[in-house]
Amino acid sequence: MRQLEGHILTPQGFLRGVMTFGDDGRIAELRGEPVHEREVRAASCPLLLPGFIDLHVHGGGGHDIMEGGDALRRVSEVHARHGTTAMLATTMTAPVVDLDAAFAAMHALGLQRSAAGARVLGVHLEGPYISQEKLGAQPDFTRPMVASELQRWHALFPIRVVTLAPEVPGNMDLIESLCAAGFRVQIGHSAGNYEDGKQALSKGAGSFTHLFNAMTPLHHRTPGMVGAALAHAQFAEIIPDLIHVHPGAIRVALRAIPGLYCVTDSTAAAGMPDGEYRLGRHTVTKCLGGVRLPDGTLAGSTLTMDQALRNLVDGLGLSLSDASRHVSTHAADYLGVTDRGRLSTGAWGDVVRLDRDLKLMDVWLEGSSIEHTDAE
């Protein structure tokens, strides 16, 4: 049986002890003595945290989910090397033919996890059912939702999250049926107002896509979609690269939304040098730590989840246990996944091992380290 030793972050707090994995890849045993969080970064032994969960991944390592082929496998491996142990492959707003091809490619690869790749839990369908007024970096192929095409794609590769603009004619009326069918509905790329957001939440929408970005902002007399999120949401995504959202706005969201979870919204440029990359049908440029369209519009990010953790702790001053919930546990809770995003007996052995500077030492995916599986 494989074991890891160090300061282990459990749902009850840190233990100084040992974690044992069973042959099934799940955590078989946790034993040790409780230790106060203020001591863990001062000590020399490793920090063991739940593997990161990223529900908004477009690409990485030069590959884009929309390009088809084995892009999904390659992207999952890039992000696993940065501590992401579970993720959603995220598509772009695109013509039907492009989305058909992307889903066909994912179907051909199947849900079997690559030995060195993050577990792909399904798809985040970001559009095409969004507002033409709030495209952000999405190509202009928006259209009303057609339930039959969504079901066709879902049959090829499971769709877990659907981003839509509730004010687009017909979309609001479909939220309840989408939720009843098991999809998580998110509000995003929306020109809707506060009332639209509140109504969508009442019909079952559960989260907001990259909060603050590509939605109507908060004003004290017109609170907008951001106001609806801050006033009423239990969950929302946020991109903590400190480029998409000012640290002060992140602090507001942290105080207002209990289940705020971090995403990378990463593109093919993640983990790559400066240059030009594909994002769906767009060409984007990586420069100075960001990714932009030719007109300067932010177009996804180069963020990885290990850097997101460091930004929360060292940049925003969150405790390590609190930051871990925002990069792991809350995303799992939003999806209704109870055996990931936490280190407890019976959960999957998805673990990141970090040094006192929060630099990754290694990553364990379902009870095996990436290095170990590569060697095999």
In terms of DSSP bridges, do strands 290-292 and 351-354 run parallel, antiparallel, or are they unpaired?
A: unpaired
pLDDT of 94 reads 94
- Sheet with 290-292, strands from edge to edge, namely 275-279, 282-287, 290-292
CATH of the domain at 269: 3.20.20.140
CA distance 299 to 342: 31
| Same structural domain, 241 and 298 | yes
Whether 265 sits among the annotated catalytic residues: the reply is yes
| Same structural domain, 10 and 149 | no
Q: What is the pLDDT of residues 182-234, one digit of tens each?
A: 999 999 999 999 999 999 999 999 999 999 999 999 999 999 999 999 999 99
| Same structural domain, 74 and 212 | yes
Amino acid sitting at position 105? A
Calculate mean pLDDT across residues 46-50: 97
Domain membership of residue 197 as a residue range: 52-335
| Same structural domain, 159 and 264 | yes
pLDDT of 372 reads 46
Q: Give the Cβ contact number of residue 314 at 10 Å.
A: 12
Amino acid sitting at position 184? R
CA distance 301 to 59: 10
Total domains present in the chain: 2
CATH of the domain at 22: 2.30.40.10
| Same structural domain, 36 and 100 | no
| Same structural domain, 216 and 355 | no
Place 320 in a pLDDT band, splitting at 50, 70 and 90: very high
Contact present, 118 and 365 (Cβ < 8 Å): yes
| Same structural domain, 98 and 245 | yes
| Same structural domain, 259 and 196 | yes
| Same structural domain, 325 and 368 | no
| Same structural domain, 23 and 126 | no
Residue of 196, 265, 333, 350 marked active site:
265
| Same structural domain, 126 and 186 | yes
Q: What is the pLDDT of residues 151-171, one digit of tens each?
A: 999 999 999 999 999 999 999
3-state secondary structure of 256: helix
| Same structural domain, 280 and 347 | no
Q: Which two tokens stand for residue 365?
A: 């995916």
Q: Which of 72, 75, 55 is nearest to 337 (CA)?
A: 55
CA distance 166 to 148: 19
More confident residue, 107 or 300: 107
Is this prediction's pTM over 0.85?
A: yes
